[in-house]
Amino acid sequence: MCDHHDRLKSNNKDLQSVEKQLDRRHFLKKTSLGIGALALGSLLNTEKTWASIGNSDNASVNAFTRNKLGLPHHLPKAKRIIYLFQSGGPSQLDLFDYKPKLVDMFGKDLPESVMQGQRLTGMSGSQSTLPVAPSIFNFKQYGESRAWVSELMPYTAEVVDDLCFMKGMQTDQINHTPAITFFQTGHQLPGRPSIGSWLSYGLGSDNENLPTFITLVSKNGKGQPLKASLWGNGFLPTEHQGVQFRSGKDPVLYLNNPDNYDGADRKRMLEYLGDLNSIQHDAYGDPEIQARMSQYEMAFRMQTSIPEVTDTSDEPEHIFNLYGKDSRDPGTYAANCLMARKLLEKGVKFVQLYHQGWDQHIGCPNGVKFKAKQTDQATAALIKDLKQRGMLDDTLVVWGGEFGRTVYSQGQLTKTNYGRDHHPKAFTMWMAGAGVKPGFTYGETDDFSYNVVKDPLHVHDFHATLLHLFGIDHERLTFKHQGRRFRLTDVHGHVAKDILT
């Protein structure tokens, strides 16, 4: 008999009296239904129970003793990451992937030799023609690396020598939700842990007073919706999920105590709650209880740490000027970039930004122009700011969307206007900072920016490379769930060694 498992045991007087009251009922329950229920419960819960032994117990014994997962596997280059997710699929053709030969092809049907029978979306698949739409924007080469950038990104053009362009990006998904889920979790269906959760699980926290993984979404975002599963923990212990800050003046609500409450006994209250929870945990072994406990404690610590880190009033004027005037307006992309830098300075490991609205099916030129204007200055400012502080040394910056856009026009093509549909087979992203080659371009597309002709980089490869920069062998960071060991890259992924310093 293992009835001691779910018997309440406490040194607390109040709880002991509750225990006694329960005795008779407890006895009856044990002798009748108890054993069967216990057996069933342990059948259903074995995984959680094992998980709590193998995995989440680490949380209590961290940092000064060795990493329980044997991480990092090799010397890391990156300590932190900020991922600037451009949701919707920015048009590589109008921003970075310069294709001068397209001008001669204006309005001509996209050759079948380029399409190679690719299945299109329902949005442009039924079009009678697929007219080639060259970008109406001017491109120039910048910096010592002579990287091509369009006139829409004048600020980014200033920092190209710090960026590593990946022009041969490829994904398997052609629609937003599966594509963005794939990018953030390594699988097109929701339910797997996101990149940030894997890093938090694997490497732990650098600052106990702040979450390891924080998500910031630009306010007033229109376009494809974002959802919490993108920064979810999947089957990893819950404390590793991304904590989303609100995009507004108060990034975290209710940090201040309510009126007429001075907060003096808050700590005692939490300790008592912790006692209750740990009794519950002893009884059921559910690691979710531990996760809840650590989240309550985190919330308590965030009451002091968050106001400090989200307060930008001590930033000097020239920093605001650097990020652009939007940076004074909380919740904008620029303000989020600035806050991201402050979070990274405080030891947050993963800051995930989202900026929505890069989905230009119609009116692509104006749409891209508008989105570029919202993000360009702040993105470049972030690079410069991290660099001058010496943080770019060990901070990885990632810029990119979930896929690219087609060379042909969706809908009518005119001299000044066109639309572009989703394109998963070739698009551009860039990384900067820790361990990636600055002023470097990896991968190449054909003259239509439709197929990758050199050095393709699949989403799985991107994940493998990202983990590599953090000192992690992507094949060895695994978590056993439902009888199988899962990893971020599933059974795929190759580290793109050519882009590493």
Partner 1 sequence: MSDTSDFVLFLGRFHPLVVHLPIGFLFFAFLLEVLGRKKKYEALTNAVPLALLSGFASAFIACVLGYMLSMSGDYDEGMLDIHFWFGVATTIIVLIAWLIRIGKIKLKKKLKIKANISAITLIVILLSITGHYGGNLTHGSDYLTKYLPFNKKEEKVLIPIEKLEDAVVFDYLVAPVLDAKCTSCHNESKKKGGLALIDSLSIMKGGKGGAALIAGNAAKSEMIKRVLLDPHHDDFMPPEGKTPLTEEEIDVLKYWINGASADFSSKVGDVETPENISKIASEMLGLGHSAGKGKIPNLTEVDDSILKELMTEGFRVSELVFDSNIYSIELPAKTITAENSSELNKKLELLSKIKDNVFWLYLEDNQLTDAHLNGVTQFKNLKKLKLNKNSISDAGVSQISSLELESLNLYGTNVTKESLKTFLKIPTLKKVYIWGTSISKKDIDSLNLENESPEFILGI
Judged by CB under 8 A, does residue 64 bind partner 1? yes
CA–CA gap between residue 89 and residue 180 (Å, rounded): 9
And the tokens for 468? 């590599």
Judged by CB under 8 A, does residue 435 bind partner 1? no
Backbone angles phi, psi at 40, to 5 degrees: -65, -45
Q: What's the residue count for the chain? A: 501
- Nearest to partner 1 of 43, 75 (CB atom): 75
And the tokens for 393? 């040394």
Judged by CB under 8 A, does residue 433 bind partner 1? no
CB of 196 to partner 1, least distance (A): 18
3-state secondary structure of 68: coil
Judged by CB under 8 A, does residue 316 bind partner 1? no
Among 52, 76, 147, 285, binds partner 1 (CB under 8 A): 76
Q: Which of 228, 233, 250 is nearest to 294 (CA)?
A: 233
376, 400 contact by CB (below 8 A): no
CB of 303 to partner 1, least distance (A): 18
Let me know the angle formed at the C-alpha of 137 by 135 and 143, rounded to the nearest 5 degrees.
115
**Token pair 């590589």 is at which residue?**
92
Binding region for partner 1 (CB under 8 A) out of 15-23, 63-71, 131-139, 299-307: 63-71
Among 175, 207, 238, 295, binds partner 1 (CB under 8 A): 207
CB of 206 to partner 1, least distance (A): 6
Among 51, 115, 152, 322, binds partner 1 (CB under 8 A): 322
CA–CA gap between residue 100 and residue 122 (Å, rounded): 29
Binding region for partner 1 (CB under 8 A) out of 18-26, 68-76, 94-102, 184-192: 68-76
And the tokens for 375? 């993000």
Judged by CB under 8 A, does residue 302 bind partner 1? no
Binding region for partner 1 (CB under 8 A) out of 73-81, 226-234, 413-421, 482-490: 73-81
CB of 305 to partner 1, least distance (A): 11
Question: DSSP code of 190?
Answer: B
CB of 204 to partner 1, least distance (A): 8
3-state secondary structure of 164: strand
Q: Which of 121, 163, 88 is nearest to 367 (CA)?
A: 88
Judged by CB under 8 A, does residue 388 bind partner 1? yes
Judged by CB under 8 A, does residue 71 bind partner 1? yes
- Nearest to partner 1 of 158, 359 (CB atom): 158
Residues 323-362, mask of contacts with partner 1 (x by CB under 8 A): ----------------------xxx---------------
Of residues 394-423, those binding partner 1 (CB under 8 A): 394
Judged by CB under 8 A, does residue 476 bind partner 1? no
3-state secondary structure of 17: helix
CB of 388 to partner 1, least distance (A): 3
Judged by CB under 8 A, does residue 11 bind partner 1? no
CA–CA gap between residue 224 and residue 356 (Å, rounded): 7
Residues 90-129, mask of contacts with partner 1 (x by CB under 8 A): ----------------------------------------
Judged by CB under 8 A, does residue 79 bind partner 1? yes
3-state helix, strand, coil in the chain (%, to 5): 40, 15, 40
Judged by CB under 8 A, does residue 193 bind partner 1? no
How many residues make contact with partner 1 (CB under 8 A)?
28
Judged by CB under 8 A, does residue 67 bind partner 1? yes
Distances (CA, A) of 131 to 104, 108, 136: 12, 5, 14
- Nearest to partner 1 of 121, 312 (CB atom): 312
Q: Which of 225, 223, 247, 215 is nearest to 181 (CA)?
A: 225
CB of 326 to partner 1, least distance (A): 18
Among 192, 371, 387, 468, binds partner 1 (CB under 8 A): 387
Cα-to-chain-centroid distance, residue 122: 29
Of residues 271-300, those binding partner 1 (CB under 8 A): none
CA–CA gap between residue 437 and residue 392 (Å, rounded): 12
CB of 327 to partner 1, least distance (A): 15
241, 247 contact by CB (below 8 A): no
Judged by CB under 8 A, does residue 473 bind partner 1? no
The identity of residue 465, as a single letter, is: T
Sign, CA dihedral 481-2-288-205, equals negative
The identity of residue 375, as a single letter, is: T
CA–CA gap between residue 95 and residue 77 (Å, rounded): 29
Cα-to-chain-centroid distance, residue 108: 39
Question: DSSP code of 414?
Answer: -
Judged by CB under 8 A, does residue 248 bind partner 1? no
Among 287, 367, 433, 471, binds partner 1 (CB under 8 A): 471
What residues make contact with partner 1 under the rule CB under 8 A? 63-67, 70-76, 79, 204, 206-207, 322, 345-347, 384, 387-390, 393-394, 471
